[in-house]
Amino acid sequence: MFTYPLTPYRGDTFRRQFTFFADNDHAVASDLTGVDVAAEIRTAPGAAVITTIGLTVTLPNLIDLELTPAQTALLPPASSWDLQFTYPSGDVITVVRGSVSASGDITNSVAIGGMR
């Protein structure tokens, strides 16, 4: 497992891509065929889910993570996330975890008084 902090900007789209390997030299791609992937953001283990993270798997070993503007708008200043794989065998492995530090929006993209 490795640690990767997420630093979304509240109200913005947030994307990251992860590539998984079966070896430490990053020479052999992991095969994610049949693997269910899931990721959530919570304030603490066992706390209510703030949002699930959109995940797209591209075989053999890429996962694209996405939070929409509506999802990032829900984020408190500090929370945590992780990414779990559930293999066809039933094994569940958390492969990434980390903090989520959401920054407040400065520029309002909504038109005010007819101006942008």
CATH classification of the domain holding 88: 2.60.40.10
Question: What token pair was written down for 31?
Answer: 């095969």
Provide the domain count of the chain. Answer: 1
Q: Please give the pLDDT value at position 110.
A: 53
Q: What is the pLDDT of residue 41?
A: 98
Task: Split the chain (116 residues) into runs of 10 and give each run's mean pLDDT.
Answer: 96 97 95 98 97 98 97 96 98 98 77 44
CA dist 88 and 101 (Å) reads 33
User: What per-residue confidence (pLDDT) applies to 114?
Assistant: 46
Query: What's the pLDDT at 105?
Result: 77
Residue 50 sits in which domain range? Answer: 2-101
The pTM assigned to this predicted structure is 0.88
Q: Is residue 58 part of a domain?
A: yes
Report whether 1 contacts 94 (CB < 8 A).
yes
